[in-house]
Structure 1
């Protein structure tokens, strides 16, 4: 005798009443992000950096001369957290902090910072290629488009 599928079993599978369970969908996105972060942090240690540091270097490389606030926003951090991180990067001679207009402090990569950024980029490409290998190119394009749409249209969450 077989029994029917319970609502909890459907929720675990990701479907409730024929629709995708939004909690399950949200958790799946978080799981993918968590796996990326763990793999990147582990692999970036081999090139002498962390994911947070490499992400900051990447943001500075994209926007040389940016302020700490601009970089905090770009790296999904608070101003104080980014300031602490930038101080550590400067102490490691990966970043130069220069006076800008008014009280603005501008951030620039040093040669060592450029090398660390490039070493980290090679790691990231390898990790992400492995992670997204189950998807074909069309699926990757679709996923990127959907995530970008959520990023733009999902701004009303705050």
Structure 2
């Protein structure tokens, strides 16, 4: 097989898909999903961010993030409050912080298994390459 940007992209997508599926299965055991946990992580890192900023950070549309945020509010994991102008700010509740911490432990374990075949040097090389690709203009 010839290695091309397209075959490399498919391989990257497959690795991401396998890692995400494993994370979703493991997170289901603690009562959440990867999408929900990632939203909790984003809110925790930027509590004053707008819904739009959080949608961009979590690779979702504004509408999808709004639906997700409403679900997290209904579960008692997130609180919303008015911000500047029309901005709605999001903050984790105590239950949200607990779920975030539990999910962080789960995802750390899953990710460690996903990259277990790589040496520290290989992992560093992969990180550098993906950082370059991730910064490429659209």
Tell me, what secondary structure is at the counterpart of 1:47? coil
Provide the aligned length of Structure 1 versus Structure 2: 138
2:101 aligned with 1:122: no
**Correspondences of 1:5-154 after superposition (within 5 Å):** 10=1, 15=2, 20-153=3-136
User: d(CA) in 2 for partners of 1:96 and 1:66?
Assistant: 13
Structure with the larger RCO, 1 or 2 (CA within 8 Å, 6+ apart): 2
- Rg larger in 1 or in 2? 1
> What stretches of structure 1 move > 3 A for 4+ residues in a row?
none
Tell me, what secondary structure is at the counterpart of 1:107? strand
Q: CA deviation at 1:143?
A: 0.6
Q: What TM-score do the two structures reach when normalised by structure 2? A: 0.97
Q: Show structure 2 runs of 5+ residues with no match.
A: none
Deviations 1:15-57 (A, max 9, x none): 2xxxx22221111000000001100000000111001100000
Q: CA deviation at 1:65?
A: 1.7
Q: What TM-score do the two structures reach when normalised by structure 1? A: 0.85
Q: Show structure 1 runs of 5+ residues with no match.
A: 1-9
